[in-house]
Amino acid sequence: MNTENSTKGIWKVISASSVGTLIEWYDFYIFGSLAATISTKFFPQSNPTAAFLSTLATFAAGFVVRPFGALFFGRLGDLIGRKHTFMMTLLLMGGATFLIGCIPSYDTIGFLAPFLVLLLRLLQGLALGGEYGGAATYVAEYAPHGHRGYWTSWIQTTATVGLFVSLIVILVTKKSTTKEQFELWGWRVPFWISIFMVLISYIIRKNMHESPLFAKAKAEGKTSTNPLKESFGNRLNMKYVLLALFGAAMGQGVVWYTGQFYAMSFIQKVCNVESAQTDSLVAIALLMGAPFFVVFGALSDKIGRKSIMMAGMLIAVCCYRPIYSAIFQTANVKNKTEIIAKLETTTRDKVLPNGDSTHTYSKVHLYEDGTKYTYDSLVTVKIDKSAEPIKAKISKIVLLNDSDKWFIIFMVFIQVIFVTMVYGPIAAFLVEMFPVKIRYTSMSLPYHIGNGIFGGLLPTVATYLATKSKEGGVGTWYLDGLWYPIIVASVCFVIGMLYINSKDKHTFD
């Protein structure tokens, strides 16, 4: 296959694959981004904390089933073809997301609501488990030799861009509705919007041809009759599957989730930065960093995939604690000079059914650099003005000044660079480890275990470690959640350096 023929129509292939994968990541992320709201709609509110944890568990279920989706759809992809399989995953993911936005609330249909949400969430995870392998394999098998890193890196941008788009859609929806409207029906809009994007992607994809390498193998009768057995029952191929998981995908997964998801959670939950401001900070950093997926993907064609990925893991391991310490200290108002204290405002929100009234009291502390630290007390007081107010909730919200905002954006941007180093080349790296006839199956499983299990567990494990350290009175408790990605990435780095040879691949298509 010469370069001119292999690159003919490649941008159409990239567009068809990237748009669909972006949509699937978008669908996946809006559930996590709206978890707090979803918990109030689909779960009983007798225990709000349990409802929120149930929502997070439902979100995590989508990660757990991703490897099963990789096996199921990977097998189909190696049997019937890449194109038809990731057409199925696109429709399944988009349909499940749209339907989540249509489910009546718990108050309307009771326990059927959380059951349906869980079911649709599992379908989302299964679909995502099959989508990535199909899209990456499809593009790689169209790309000419010597340029696979560059062309497949466009697929790698879709996860970050999907997160970026989900944040923007949610922010625009919140800005376009009142707080009451968003709580009532506005939160459903991001779910509904996905159906239009899916239809556009479907129209693009249905006119595409099968990948040339798979079509050639099928015409010559060289496709697999049992992809699962040949992928995991063959000793040599199983060696490559394990190396792909423990020497690359495992570390890539934790670096990816630390640099984007955990960074967002840390800024909002640990540093108490206001949620809309947090979303905007992360969105800007993601937008700045996204082009580097292509930069490092192209660079991997010249100097090798392994060296860039291993460097990304090592630098991340060495830099995480200093970066997060700098973020915490920047947002920490104790390091600033307070010049005006206790500016109080009171608003009457609503009259409760029992005759009581709900009021919000805000105490805004202003600092010399312009940072605001707001303590919001939501209290319930009786109509009888002599009654003592009953404190219900206290939250602390930091509003950063411009210089602090840009510093934290830069700190997140650096982490996104780490992400692009490990994630930009990995699609081409995984594709080249396996032969055409079992490629979809073989590469999908280690990728989704590395990302869905090791990466997907990061928010829960990191939060647990930080919480235990805080309870134990550890001075730098806010950094202890980082031990999880540091240890996992370090182990992956050692295995990758010792056992993966950048030239050690057994496919020559």
Task: Give DSSP secondary structure letters for 310-330.
Answer: HHHHHHHHHHHHHHHHHHHHH
Locate 290 and state its tokens.
């996204």
Give 380's pLDDT tier (boundaries 50, 70, 90).
very low
Same domain as 51, residue 152: yes
Same domain as 394, residue 274: no
Rounded to the nearest angstrom, the gap between the alpha carbon of residue 136 and the centroid of all alpha carbons in its chain is 18
Check pLDDT > 70 for residue 418. yes
Q: Give the closest residue to 379 by CA, choosing from 404, 359, 398, 405.
A: 359
Q: Give 292: exposed, middle or buried? Use CB within 10 Å, 0-12, 13-18, 19+.
A: buried
Check pLDDT > 80 for residue 343. no
Close Cβ partners of 180 (under 8 Å, ≥ 6 residues apart):
none
Say which residue, 353 or 427, is predicted with more confidence: 427
Same domain as 348, residue 227: no
pLDDT at 2: 46
Structural domains counted in the chain? 2
Same domain as 457, residue 380: no
Same domain as 312, residue 419: yes
Say which residue, 507 or 481, is predicted with more confidence: 481
Check pLDDT > 70 for residue 384. no
Same domain as 355, residue 483: no
Check pLDDT > 50 for residue 453. yes
Domain-located, residue 509: no
Domain-located, residue 268: yes
Domain-located, residue 319: yes
Locate 321 and state its tokens.
């604690």
Q: What is the DSSP letter of 273?
A: B
> pLDDT (tens digit, 9 = 90+) per residue, 244-261?
999 999 999 999 989 988
Side chain identity at 222, as an amino acid letter?
K
Let me know the angle formed at the C-alpha of 294 by 301 and 483, rounded to the nearest 5 degrees: 95
Same domain as 25, residue 170: yes
Give 501's pLDDT tier (boundaries 50, 70, 90).
confident
**pTM, 2 dp:** 0.82
Give 504's pLDDT tier (boundaries 50, 70, 90).
very low
Same domain as 153, residue 70: yes
Locate 457 and state its tokens.
């567990």
Same domain as 410, residue 356: no
Domain-located, residue 267: yes
Locate 456 and state its tokens.
């997907």
| Averaged confidence pLDDT in the chain | 82
Check pLDDT > 80 for residue 241. yes
Domain-located, residue 410: yes
Say which residue, 328 or 210, is predicted with more confidence: 328
pLDDT at 330: 92
Check pLDDT > 70 for residue 486. yes
Say which residue, 459 or 189, is predicted with more confidence: 189
Rounded to the nearest angstrom, the gap between the alpha carbon of residue 473 and the centroid of all alpha carbons in its chain is 31
> pLDDT (tens digit, 9 = 90+) per residue, 5-56?
445 577 777 877 777 778 767 876 787 778 777 878 888 877 676 676 677 6
Q: How far is CA 52 from CA 38, 283, 467, in A?
A: 8, 24, 17
Question: 366, 399, 432 — which closes off a domain?
Answer: 399
Same domain as 137, residue 37: yes
pLDDT at 360: 56
Same domain as 406, residue 466: yes
User: Strand, helix or coil at 351?
Assistant: strand
Q: Domain residues for 344?
A: 334-399
Q: Which region among 131-140, 264-273, 328-337 has the lowest average model confidence (pLDDT)?
A: 131-140
